[in-house]
Structure 1
Amino acid sequence: MDNYFWLLIHLFALCTISVSGKVFVSIDCGAKGSFTDENLIVWKGDDDLISNGVTHVVQSNYSVSRVADTLRVFTTRKKNCYSIEVEEGEKVLVRAGFNYGNYDNKSNPPIFDLHFDGNYWVTVNSSEWVFYETIYVVKKKVISVCVAQTMANQFPFISYLEVRGLDSQMYNKIGPNYALLNNARFGFAMTENIRFPADPYDRIWAPQAPGAGLLNVSNDKTIINVDVPDEPPQAVLKNAIAPPYSNQSIILSLGTMWYPIRYPVYINWYFSDVQERNSTQSRVFRVLKDNVPFSLPIVPIFGNVTEYYISNITVNLNTIFTLDPIATFTTLPPLINAVELFSISDPLTDGTNGNDVEGLASLQNAFAVLQEWSGDPCLPAPHSWEWIECNNDPAPRVTTINLSSFNLSGSLPDFSKMDALQIIDLHNNSLTGRIPNFLGNLPNLKQLNLADNQFSGSIPKSISKNSQLNLTDTGNAFLCIKGKSCPSNGKNTNKLPIILGITIPVLLILCAIVSVLIVRHRRKADVSQQHSGNTSRRSNGLSSVVRGTTATDNFDHKGANDKERFYRSPSPLLADG
């Protein structure tokens, strides 16, 4: 190698409707209604997706695009989340954008955390417009993207959110228990961003100018075959960079990394020759890492793409990669069309214990005020929902429910599967009905505060005989107290209407049956009187006997049908008297 030409990769920060089984959701946070942008992407406002937060518009001199010019700001709660339905096991690309735009005239862009599915994603520094992107396999039927406050008076916000379904074979060189966190995605020598519809998966490919001494070269091939696992769009393969001479290299160095350098990296390089070579020409090179050979020879093909990936390697900010010509085989210099650079996340969580998630969902279904909380209940710590506490198990268990003074009304639902609960505090609400028996059967429950509600009936024996449970039930005027009769709760407890409602219809039916039998009996008696005795008749040499029909005969032959018709009683109105 006679000369080295350095190319610094400047990394930009990479900041819920199903189509053909793949999710494709575009949320314009802080906006109302919907619109279609210049890329034919339909954006929808978030009013119907989240109830918390306040909408704002950036100052005009900070305008970036229509979707980035509105935002939703959250001044309450530890975290606020968007939930989007997907197919369990689907591979998705999630992108979240943030444009502070001095919306509050304070010139104080906040710093806060971004989460997905209970996993820490990144700490957002909103001093400039920024967007982040991750690719992973979802573990449930709903994904959540949350912003979480980490500093006093620094309120998190979000400008837009995108979710795109990917083919299951894409980016499959890591296991499903890890996410790819995008640092950069470049198309070399391009003049503008490439995204949907040129890229059907709506990846954003940013243009990257060549470094000193490198040339822009272009491809005039009409159709380029992109049949490789990660399916780069043809548009990013139309251009490339290359040194002017066959004995020169392209050196790629890492710039700013948006994710901790301790994370291993995953890199995709894409190569497509820009000219059809004759029999005397060849283009052969290999990848070096820190000047050490790292790959087998790479031979890009005109009209096709060669993808070379590196997965799970450790780098630092001084790491360099070199596309080095193999002098004995090549007559043309190396080239490169596009690159993707990811950090590999820590192992993804499976989320809060499923039984606890189910129990919390039953509480949310029963009490509308609780439906404002979403995302993973416990994770990531310490950003659990405000009204619960969790332990540190790998799949955390909910140990405390504190819903005191939440203005809850109605009866308690069944959340008996939450068997790790130690404390339940429901005091100072308007809960009614009987105290559920399952509360006394929760094996780890130590404190149960039901004070100042409107519970009625007696205390279940599972609670009253549980010596390990500290019960507080004062302030329930309609609750039965040991040694005293149950007070009325103001509702009509007289059972006479129920009794009359059952007995009167039964008596009416019995009277009707008796009346019918009497009438039938009288009619048959009349017939018997008119035809008493046996009378012989002779007709055409034949004789017949007409016999009088008695009530007894009629019962013998038709009694079963009469019973079927007249004596079937209705089902009782109440199972218990």
Structure 2
Amino acid sequence: MRTHSMLFLVLVALLSIFDHCLAAFVSIDCGSSVPITDEFGVKWTADDGYVQTGELQTVEYSSTIPSYMSETVMSSLRVFPNLKKNCYTINVNKGEKVLVRASFIYGNYDGKLAPPTFELQFDGNFWSTVNTSELSGVYPEALYVMKENTTSICLAQTFPNQIPFISALELRSLDSDMYSRVDPNLALFFSNRVASGAKQTTRYPDDIYDRIWTPEVGFGGLSESMESVAVSIDTTTTEDKPPLAVLLNAVGTTGRAWGLGLTTNLPNTNVPVYIATYFSEVAQLNLTDKRSIRILVDKIPYGTPVIPPFGSVSVVEITNMTASSSTNFDIAAASDSTLPPIINAYEVYTVSNALTDGTNRHDVEGLEALRKEFDLLKSWSGDPCLPSRYTWEWLDCNTDASPRVTALNLSSFGLSGSLPDFSSLDALETIDLHNNSIHGPIPNFLGSLPNLKLLILEDNRFNGTIPSSISKNKKLTLIITNNCLSGMSCKPETLPSPTKSPLPVTPSSGTSDTPKSLTPPSGTSDIPEPLTPPSDQQDQNQIPFFNGGKKSDTIPIVLGLTFQVSLLLLLLRQP
């Protein structure tokens, strides 16, 4: 009879898997160049479609990889020696609730026996400080609701010579009603997830959401494991949807006077927590038996007693409180209980601060236009301004709740191409594009940016004429020498060869008041041939120049005389 019952439960579990199709089930094998199917039947994809930077490496030894993880997947990794923030970008529907798990197996890949510490972020939010180890892996998880149609998972360098890496990245959709007691503007960060009384770890396919449930250890000699005798267990209406596999067993004490302590793995400092406990009766009780359970927080009863149902499950959530590693969470028999307490499973999470909405959406659109035009800029990904210590190296941002980009600092970047329309970046105060190989006409929208004060276009390949929106803009300082504008001589110049991509990786503590000059990543295209200056002289109006930040008289510029232009600029720049 017991065998038939177990077969029935397994059949129910399998049917639930086939009947449930997740919107997103993404498994990324970081550092791999080919897709694989692992020993558990999960299909993994190579990571080059999700990230633009980094180097592929393999571990020296794999003894730290747990049995419920794929050794094949965890043996490769991607390392990020350049830039202070490197990100994976995954497409997911806006509003989708997701579980994201990142895996880090150091495995002495670099032969230095020096596992690094670095920061993990998502969508401009802090996630976790990753302290890797020689002897064990690190597997942080975050549960959150998508605010856009993509999510970015970022590795950020926090200390010199501490190079971030990642072994695997997994994203799973969750049903919208799961963890619904948590505000959708908050994230849950994994602390512990336990299948009490289980003999092995439970995950996909037994849990269709691929949560990892580990067996409980350390209850001690006053506890015992129990198997459920229920023919079926109904979980269809259960909050947070625990898998059937973790409800088939429980741990209980050997006497009603004893309690069970939960292992929370919480940090040493008080943080907001979300704890879900699951109770399902394992025995068919007679009329004189009663199992009534109290949850105690530091010996103080939390909520009302719970009576585990037979053939079903009750969930008790502990919310709206802070706790730490010194906080005691216990399961005990209520005063009217005739039987010892039991528990089948539980989950422990910390709760984030309010999630950011990210950099202003219009600014993101403008930056994306630049990244599409100039391949060099595709190395930068994730939120452009957030977290504030990890703003893209060539940007300055303000401190608004949804930050605005105030400066583009792209001098000497080896950029080649024409300027796209990035007029949505309307909070810009400074644009520095000097010493590149940007060609084509000067866009009219540059003079219409309402906050722009300084526009540096010198030493490029711009042709045509200066738009009147710029020449008539009395608030704008324009530096335009050494271009191919009408009447200017345009001799070919060779830009400095960009060096290997190694912009500063030490996070800055704030923004700069002056334009930055950065070395771009390698891989620039050839500089185009000099363009023939057009003969059209329209829009060559009087151009206001500024010296030392003070407005000067309006000076007529004769663009046909290169010597006069250079001399005037030289004189104007004298203190």
Contact conserved, 1:253 with 1:318, CA < 8 A, in 2? Answer: no
Quick one: which of 87, 102, 113 aligns to 1:107? 113
**Which structure's CA Rg is the greater one?**
1
**Which residue pairs with 2:229 in the alignment?**
220
Give the whole-Å Cα distance in 2 for the aligned partners of 1:286 and 1:479.
84
RMSD of the TM alignment (CA)? Answer: 2.0
**Which residue pairs with 2:430 in the alignment?**
423
2:256 matches 1:246: yes
Give the whole-Å Cα distance in 1 for the aligned partners of 2:385 and 2:535.
47
1:249 to partner: Cα distance: 2.3
Contact conserved, 1:210 with 1:216, CA < 8 A, in 2? Answer: no
Give the whole-Å Cα distance in 2 for the aligned partners of 1:468 and 1:232.
62
| Alignment of structure 1 residues 123-522 onto 2, 5 Å | 123-127=129-133, 128-212=136-220, 213-227=222-236, 228-252=238-262, 254=264, 256-257=265-266, 261-327=269-335, 329-480=336-487, 491=532
Give the whole-Å Cα distance in 2 for the aligned partners of 1:202 and 1:253.
21
Return the letter of the residue paired with 1:67.
V
**Which residue pairs with 1:522 in the alignment?**
none
With over 3 angstroms needed to count, the CA separation of the structure-2 counterparts of 1:480 and 1:171, relative to structure 1, is farther
1:481 to partner: Cα distance: 6.1
Contact conserved, 1:242 with 1:335, CA < 8 A, in 2? Answer: yes
1:346 to partner: Cα distance: 0.7
With over 3 angstroms needed to count, the CA separation of the structure-2 counterparts of 1:74 and 1:277, relative to structure 1, is same
1:409 to partner: Cα distance: 2.1
| Alignment of structure 1 residues 37-116 onto 2, 5 Å | 37-60=38-61, 62=63, 64=65, 65-116=71-122
1:148 to partner: Cα distance: 0.4
**Normalization by structure 1: what TM-score?**
0.78
Contact conserved, 2:99 with 2:141, CA < 8 A, in 1? Answer: yes
Return the letter of the residue paired with 1:142.
T
2:123 matches 1:122: no
**Which residue pairs with 1:525 in the alignment?**
none
1:473 to partner: Cα distance: 0.6
Contact conserved, 2:463 with 2:534, CA < 8 A, in 1? Answer: no
Return the letter of the residue paired with 1:297.
P
1:375 to partner: Cα distance: 0.6
Q: Deviations over 1:407-461 (max 9, x none)?
A: 2222211111211111101111121121111111111111111011111111112
1:98 to partner: Cα distance: 0.4
1:20 to partner: Cα distance: 4.2
Secondary structure of the residue aligned to 2:90 is strand
Secondary structure of the residue aligned to 1:438 is helix
1:63 to partner: Cα distance: 5.4
Contact conserved, 1:456 with 1:480, CA < 8 A, in 2? Answer: no
Contact conserved, 2:423 with 2:446, CA < 8 A, in 1? Answer: yes
Contact conserved, 2:38 with 2:73, CA < 8 A, in 1? Answer: no
With over 3 angstroms needed to count, the CA separation of the structure-2 counterparts of 1:208 and 1:458, relative to structure 1, is same
1:312 to partner: Cα distance: 2.1
Gap runs ≥5 in structure 1: 1-18, 483-487, 496-577
Give the whole-Å Cα distance in 2 for the aligned partners of 1:440 and 1:480.
21
Give the whole-Å Cα distance in 2 for the aligned partners of 1:182 and 1:377.
26
Return the letter of the residue paired with 1:230.
D
Q: Deviations over 1:283-339 (max 9, x none)?
A: 112112111121212100121111110112111322112222123x32211100111
Contact conserved, 1:459 with 1:480, CA < 8 A, in 2? Answer: no
Q: Deviations over 1:471-509 (max 9, x none)?
A: 111110334569xxxxx97559799xxxxxxxxxxxxxx
Return the letter of the residue paired with 1:181.
F
Give the whole-Å Cα distance in 2 for the aligned partners of 1:372 and 1:251.
48
Number of positions where the alignment pairs a residue of Structure 1 with one of Structure 2:
469
Give the whole-Å Cα distance in 1 for the aligned partners of 2:38 and 2:206.
14
Contact conserved, 1:389 with 1:401, CA < 8 A, in 2? Answer: yes
Contact conserved, 2:266 with 2:324, CA < 8 A, in 1? Answer: no
Give the whole-Å Cα distance in 2 for the aligned partners of 1:61 and 1:263.
34
Give the whole-Å Cα distance in 1 for the aligned partners of 2:365 and 2:451.
18
Give the whole-Å Cα distance in 2 for the aligned partners of 1:489 and 1:73.
40
Return the letter of the residue paired with 1:257.
L
1:160 to partner: Cα distance: 0.3
